[in-house]
Structure 1
Amino acid sequence: MNRLSFNLATMLTFGAFAALVLNAMFGPLAALTFMACGAFLLVSNVHQSLDSLQRWWPVLILPAWCILTALWSQYPANSFRYGLQLTFTLVVAIAITGRISTATLMRMMFVVYGIGVIASILFGRTGTGGAWLGVFGSKNAFAAHIAVFMLIAVAVAADRYSPWFLRALGLVGAAASGPLLALAQSAGAILMVAPCLAIILLTLLTTRLSGMQKLFLAVMLAIGLAAMALLVIVAGDTLMAEVLEGSGKDATLTGRTDLWATGLGYIAERPFQGLGYRSFWVVGFAPAEELWAMFDVPSGAGFNFHNTYISNAVEIGLFGLGLQILIIYGGALAMGAYTFFRPNAPNALLLALQMLMILRSFIEVEVFFEFSIRSIMGVATLIYAGQGIFALRAQAPSQTKPRPRGLLSHVRVPARPRSLPHANL
């Protein structure tokens, strides 16, 4: 497409995303706006919504398990209520993938995140220590926003199917993201965004390579990743200590290692079922109150274990964590495979964002909970990849049909093209 297309589904998705991404600006209305836009999206095309849910219902096993934990949760009302909200959030994510193409999603996210960047430049403020907070509540939130915007801006700038003016804005956004990320003083965000940028650039580079050249590059990357993983396993603690020392950070990640030890203790007590979804960080629960006091955080301030796997396993157990890992890493692997065969800017962006989620999952908790843009994107990436792979498999038989023999064997009949689920997928 060489022009932007606006329809009801796009407008409703834009409103839902804006409410979540710019929640610091929406305030208490953020959740209400998301629910209103999400509900209208579902009912605006009931047939399509039901079809998408029928195809991708296994994704809803995760929120169903979260609701089920209310049976043994120490705060069953919390587990049930937040489980229902997570269910609604993921239902909206599934509906979006049936109504919005990846190209439209990429351009829409560029606008939404761009609004946050512009607002931060015009009305932002500086926090303690001189770190820039923008319009967000902390430097980490601002750094995470800029990191995602940088990836989106680079993808939009490199997308040859986007309008020229949008590509120009993408170049401006990518150039501005570097200084803004530096102002946030987040060494972690800078380190994590670099390999994700490399994913986008390498993916777009493969559009100029032959099939065998792409396969060779993929094998070399797999070998490199395996070597890096082995290095992290063998000498990860030493490398992390040196990086933190070089960047002037606390060797305990500002006390996170103590948090992790505490979380692992609770996992050992109830490994399979956990304590109950959203039932640990509750005002009045003694262990949570102790940790809030230990880290000088106000009671009920929304603290967490700063590790997705530990934090979520404490509440929904190893079974629930396994479901989340299937979505996160399954989405990354599926999108990686699909991008190998269909290397374009939207696919590269989704793969890069999923990789950023994986990298951040070891020090932050971004998924899975209600009204979370990262939770929506994690599920959407898995589904978009699945849709693309199924479409490729459907195309394969038509491309490998044997030629008819006999009198008409010399006649070449062109196969009827099959369209992908989305024109821009």
Structure 2
Amino acid sequence: MLAGPRLSINLATLLTFGAFAALVLNAMLGPLAALTFLACAGLLMISNVPLSVDSVRRYWFVLLLPVYCIFTALWSLYPSNSIRYGVQLGFTLVFAIVMTGRLSTTTLMRLMFAVYGIGVLASIGLGRTGTGGAWLGVFGSKNAFAAHIAVFMLIAVAIAADRHSPALLRLSGVAGTIVSGPLLVLAQSTGAILMVAPCLAIILLTLLITRLTGMQKLLLVALVSIALAAIALGVFVAGDALMAEILEGSGKDATLTGRTDLWATGLSYIAERPLQGLGYRSFWVIGFAPAEELWAMFDVPSGAGFNFHNTYISNAVEIGLVGLGLQVALIYGGAALMAAYAFARPNAPNALLLSLQALMILRSFIEVEVFFEFSIRSIMGVATLLYAIQGLLALRHQRPVPVRHHPGGLLSHVGLSSRPRPYPHPHL
């Protein structure tokens, strides 16, 4: 008797989808979001315990950050906060490690397109306008909505450009790209618009590499390097003046809505305790006088989750330059390694991961997206690093083993075999 057609469901993909949906749609789900993430992430970890343990063993160094955050409880102003949130950050990063061992980059790209697409559709159908006329969608602020749309636009472009995706999915990517432009304008976020442009260029340039010869690739890398050096030099020499002109031209506050005052305050606390900081998650605490003063100064309700709007300043205040160094290694190490891997294997998923890491770096100077518990950006920042490491190791293992001529005219292989070595993550 012939068996009928069966529906095959990948459990790891389903659980990752649930975890991502809970984090991305946090504004819609409320308190249920954290519980859903914990359930889906926990089930993913225990669904294949040997593989989860092996992944954590391989990439244990990622967990140095949450371990250090917990360690800051020894001098933290609020040690219970440092321990509690440090453990939650550790759980979040363990999920990121386990996820990269279970999902391919292609699956992750398509999964993110679906999750972020739900947020876009919900914002179009149920969204609202804020007090300043900016469109908020289903999110709590225009900045959160703009950040969501910026990420969705990058995903949609990558999907549309992916030659290996089904035609219907690629058409959906084209539609998503078209819709994202007006929505980003409605969010009235000059920063998001300025930052998404170079990230789109990263995707297009990465995919362009597939059509170039070896010499043309080297020329492109040289030109891009020169352009980046010129931009960096321009920002270093006249960055303040350029930013002032951009903000004035777009009708924005020259102090970035008071961010410069926040930065000055944060730098003063870093100067007091530069190496160890005040303790992980021990500044923005209800009852802590300096935090209460800043909440009152910026007319923000006490305990509303305010921050210094700069990743480096905000995190250095709490975990000092030592902890910040660990974070910088994860962020910029992921960007550098993914750039190398995308150059060697230029495809849509790698281009997307590189562009998302670049967006994180650009936003890090005016926002705080990493590293804290139940954060989609923290997960993706670590995932980009690990996918790049896995990919580069796979390329290294696939190199043909050189042969050596012996005096007797016989050929002898150097090593055990000239065939590519197997890699524990064959989906890459």
TM-score normalised by L of structure 1: 0.95
CA contact (8 A) 1:24 1:137 kept: yes
- Cα deviation for residue 394 of structure 1 reads 1.2
Residue number in structure 2 paired with 1:260: 263
- Cα deviation for residue 210 of structure 1 reads 1.3
Which residue of 108, 111, 114 maps to 1:111? 114
Residue number in structure 2 paired with 1:301: 304
Residue number in structure 2 paired with 1:11: 14
- Cα deviation for residue 5 of structure 1 reads 7.7
User: What one-letter code is carried by the residue in structure 2 that aligns with 1:255?
Assistant: G
Residue number in structure 2 paired with 1:189: 192
Structure 2 unaligned blocks of 5 or more = 1-6, 412-416
User: What one-letter code is carried by the residue in structure 2 that aligns with 1:48?
Assistant: L
- Cα deviation for residue 366 of structure 1 reads 0.3
* SS of structure 2 residue aligned to 1:129: coil
CA contact (8 A) 1:388 1:420 kept: no
Q: Does 1:56 align with 2:59?
A: yes
Q: Does 1:339 align with 2:349?
A: no
Residue number in structure 2 paired with 1:26: 29
Please list the CA deviations of residues 56-115 of structure 1 after superposition, one character each: whole Å capped at 9, or x if unmatched.
000000000000001100100001000000000000000000000000000000000000
CA RMSD, 1 decimal:
1.7
Residue number in structure 2 paired with 1:142: 145
CA contact (8 A) 1:387 1:421 kept: no
Q: Map 1:311-326; keep pairs closer than 5 Å.
A: 311-326=314-329
Residue number in structure 1 paired with 2:274: 271
- In the superposition, relative to structure 1, how do residues 329 and 98 fare at CA in structure 2: closer, same or farther (>3 Å)? same
Structure 1 unaligned blocks of 5 or more = none
CA contact (8 A) 1:103 1:424 kept: no
User: What one-letter code is carried by the residue in structure 1 that aligns with 2:279?
Assistant: G
Identify the range of structure 1 (384-393 vs 143-152) with the bigger mean alpha-carbon deviation: 384-393
Q: Does 1:47 align with 2:79?
A: no
- Cα deviation for residue 397 of structure 1 reads 4.0
Residue number in structure 2 paired with 1:381: 384
Residue number in structure 1 paired with 2:175: 172
Please list the CA deviations of residues 279-303 of structure 1 after superposition, one character each: whole Å capped at 9, or x if unmatched.
0000000000000000010100100
* Aligned counterparts of 2:165 and 2:404: Cα–Cα separation in 1: 38
- Cα deviation for residue 416 of structure 1 reads 3.8
CA contact (8 A) 2:207 2:346 kept: yes
Residue number in structure 1 paired with 2:247: 244
* Aligned counterparts of 2:410 and 2:236: Cα–Cα separation in 1: 62
The sequence identity of aligned pairs, in percent, is 77
Residue number in structure 2 paired with 1:155: 158
Which residue of 30, 36, 40 maps to 1:37? 40
Q: Does 1:87 align with 2:85?
A: no
Identify the range of structure 1 (331-340 vs 415-424) with the bigger mean alpha-carbon deviation: 415-424
- Cα deviation for residue 403 of structure 1 reads 7.5
Residue number in structure 1 paired with 2:77: 74
Residue number in structure 1 paired with 2:205: 202
Please list the CA deviations of residues 185-207 of structure 1 after superposition, one character each: whole Å capped at 9, or x if unmatched.
11100000000000000000110
- Cα deviation for residue 216 of structure 1 reads 1.4
* Aligned counterparts of 2:218 and 2:426: Cα–Cα separation in 1: 26
- Cα deviation for residue 26 of structure 1 reads 1.2
Please list the CA deviations of residues 385-414 of structure 1 after superposition, one character each: whole Å capped at 9, or x if unmatched.
00011111111243x4458998887xxxx9
* Aligned counterparts of 1:120 and 1:176: Cα–Cα separation in 2: 12
Q: How many corresponding residue pairs?
A: 417
User: What one-letter code is carried by the residue in structure 2 that aligns with 1:204?
Assistant: L
Which residue of 220, 223, 233 maps to 1:217? 220
- In the superposition, relative to structure 1, how do residues 403 and 248 fare at CA in structure 2: closer, same or farther (>3 Å)? farther
Which residue of 325, 329, 332 maps to 1:329? 332
